[in-house]
Amino acid sequence: MNPYGRFDDESREYVIVRPDTPLPWINYLGMEDFFGIVSNTAGGYCFYKDARLRRVTRYRYNDLPLDSNGRYLYVRDGDDVWCPMWKPVRADLERYECRHGLGTTTILGRRCGVEVEVRYFVPLGFDCEVWDVRVRNVSSDRKSLRLWGFVEWCLWNALDDMTNFQRNYSTGQVEVEPQTVFHVTEYRERRNHFAYFHCSVPTSGFDTSRDAFVGLYNTLADPIGVRLGCRGSIAHGWQPVGVHQVDLELDPAQDARFHFLLGYAENPDAEKWESKGVAKKAPFRRVAERLATSQDVDAAYDALRARWDDLLGVFHCEVPDEHVSRMANVWNQAQVMATLNLSRSASLYESGIGRGMGYRDSNQDLLGVVHLQPERARQRILDLAATQLSDGSCYHQYQPLTKQGNAEVGMGFNDDPLWLPLSVHAYLAETGDFSILIERCPYSDQPDSCATLMDHLELSMDFTWRNRGPHGLPLIGHADWNDCLNLNCFSTTPGESFQTAGDIEGSVAESVMIAGLFCYASLKMADLYRHLGREEDAERALERREEMVRAIDAHGWDGDWFLRAYDARGRKIGSKDCDEGRIFIESQGWCILGGVGLEDGRALRAL
């Protein structure tokens, strides 16, 4: 029995019953343009489209304690101070429960006769996060309570925010209206967007300076503002925050409900100002009007739940094993939606800074999600194809905000191009939308080109065919699907990437896995050509596949299993002759999926 939690299949939630989990257990919020990660103690952050370039709130990775900063609610009951999410105060709770659901997280804490529940979610059609707060007096005494909602603003570019202190200590800016704190750093100079933290009920105080609310030498576990009350501080540089102070008087069995809105808004460049030096708040006001009441919040939450009902209704399987059923029908589909939204760009381990949307990753993700959101899959395919260069190579990652390739990581991961034919074939099989093949999709290095998606598919196959090594197997480049299998780059300079620096000139490192992947992709392309009535092209694809199969047979079979690769010096990797790393699963799987060894029993032997 797991002492930390359990699945609630009826509500489609994972219920965590103690806050001190072995690691923070996070959930993903958002389905469109505004996203967040939230842990079981309300740690995490939110952002608009891009976790690096449009980070809304600040989060501290690899900090002590772990999972520092988030969406915090402080409660003061007399002299007793606590948080319903346990952190950051970590006062003992009589009851704690976190429910991670589909795009929602609800955290409940009870202490000394007061129960506080906070539900976090991103409503459909909004670029904001809702904190739906319910406070209940479960004691026999009247309660005079003071609560604080707290966020710390990130100065938009998350990497710059955590490195460029000599500048950023001077740039933070806010504006304040009743019940709302606006983060407007650089709005005056070069941005057309701002963030907001709004409270739906009248407040008794606010703060926008972290030093004023927390204290220069205090921590979030013991903020000065919680002991002494908010001071109405206005941040000028340093660390801007958003804090709302709410006072409640509750009789026994009485409850109160209100909500916070944490969001992002943009104005056209020509319509930035309400008055001289004051940001135009119209986009925020429209949101606040539409989410003004608890009934509005309930309707938004119900719409989100209904959207998930629709998505999960697309596919359902009946299996006797409850664990398989739960994963196949709910949680795996929730996971592929998360990877569609974020790829691997933001999590507890990926900071949202060092990478964008992965080319390989995103194509793979489409294989699992095309049945759920075919229209978004279509656009993602076109976005990915647009990061391919005219020589057939691909940017390994791209930034979701700009949709431009990440030049810091660059190209050279030689399996990347082959994933596009697989994702496109899956999309066509699911939708029958062959019009996508004639969509204009310029090459990244030739923005005026008239290339179509079909051109990209054929270029992807040609790239692998043109880049083969001495055994007739595909050259691996920087790496293939196994990014840790680094056979070409041998950096001797500290700080350089082991994956992209220190290339050996004239390297002959080859990948048996890519060879198998090429065979599989060739089958898919032949299928596509035949559907289009292009029999000669189908035969050419199959002929190339047969030649690759012969290369695998001659140089990729090790007697009992498929080799993994040849290194830069032509030595075998994944062989029985190796001292370690004698067998790798990737080459077994992809060679067999590509049809190699099926007729003579080698596939069964390798497995």
Give the chain's domain count.
2
Q: What is the pLDDT of residue 403?
A: 82
Residues in the chain: 607
For residue 360, the SS3 value is helix
In a domain, 135, yes or no: yes
In a domain, 401, yes or no: no
Q: What is the pLDDT of residues 290-338, one digit of tens each?
A: 999 999 999 999 999 999 999 999 999 999 999 999 999 999 999 999 9
Q: What span, in angstroms and rounded, lies between the C-alpha atoms of 565 and 61? A: 36
DSSP 395-422: -SEE-TTT--B-TTT-S-BTTHHHHHHH
In a domain, 231, yes or no: yes
Of 499, 509, 492, 522, the C-alpha closest to 574 is 509
Between 568 and 42, where is the model more confident? Answer: 42
In a domain, 477, yes or no: yes
Among residues 277, 309, 341, the one where a domain terminates is 309
- Phi and psi angles of residue 3, each rounded to the nearest 5 degrees, phi first: -75, -10
In a domain, 270, yes or no: yes
pTM for this model (two decimals): 0.93
In a domain, 232, yes or no: yes
- The mean pLDDT value for 510-515 works out to 97
- The mean pLDDT value for 345-366 works out to 88
Specify which residues 405 forms β-bridges with: 398
Q: How confident is the model at residue 214 (pLDDT cuts 50, 70, 90)?
A: very high
Percent of the chain past pLDDT 90, that is, above it, reads 87
In a domain, 428, yes or no: no
Percent of the chain past pLDDT 70, that is, above it, reads 99
Whole-number average pLDDT of the chain: 94
Q: What is the pLDDT of residues 564-607, one digit of tens each?
A: 999 988 999 999 999 999 999 999 999 999 999 999 999 999 98
CA dihedral sign, ordered 304, 307, 313, 319 = negative
Owning domain of residue 503: 468-607
262-271 burial by CB neighbour count: b if 16+ within 10 A, else e?
A: bbbbebeeee
- Phi and psi angles of residue 213, each rounded to the nearest 5 degrees, phi first: -85, -45
Contact 509, 515 (CB under 8 A): no
- Phi and psi angles of residue 130, each rounded to the nearest 5 degrees, phi first: -100, 135
Q: How, if at all, do strands 13-16 and 128-137 pair?
A: unpaired
Q: How confident is the model at residue 502 (pLDDT cuts 50, 70, 90)?
A: low
Catalytic (active-site) positions: 483
Q: What span, in angstroms and rounded, lies between the C-alpha atoms of 396 and 393? A: 9
- Please report, for the domain that includes residue 517, its CATH number: 1.50.10.10
Q: What span, in angstroms and rounded, lies between the C-alpha atoms of 266 and 283? A: 7
- Please report, for the domain that includes residue 36, its CATH number: 2.70.98.40
Among residues 260, 294, 309, the one where a domain terminates is 309
Among residues 309, 325, 358, the one where a domain terminates is 309
- The mean pLDDT value for 372-376 works out to 94
Specify which residues 205 forms β-bridges with: 245
Q: What is the pLDDT of residue 34?
A: 98
Strand extents, DSSP E, 461-527: 510-511
Q: What span, in angstroms and rounded, lies between the C-alpha atoms of 536 and 534? A: 6
Structure tokens at 209: 């300076």
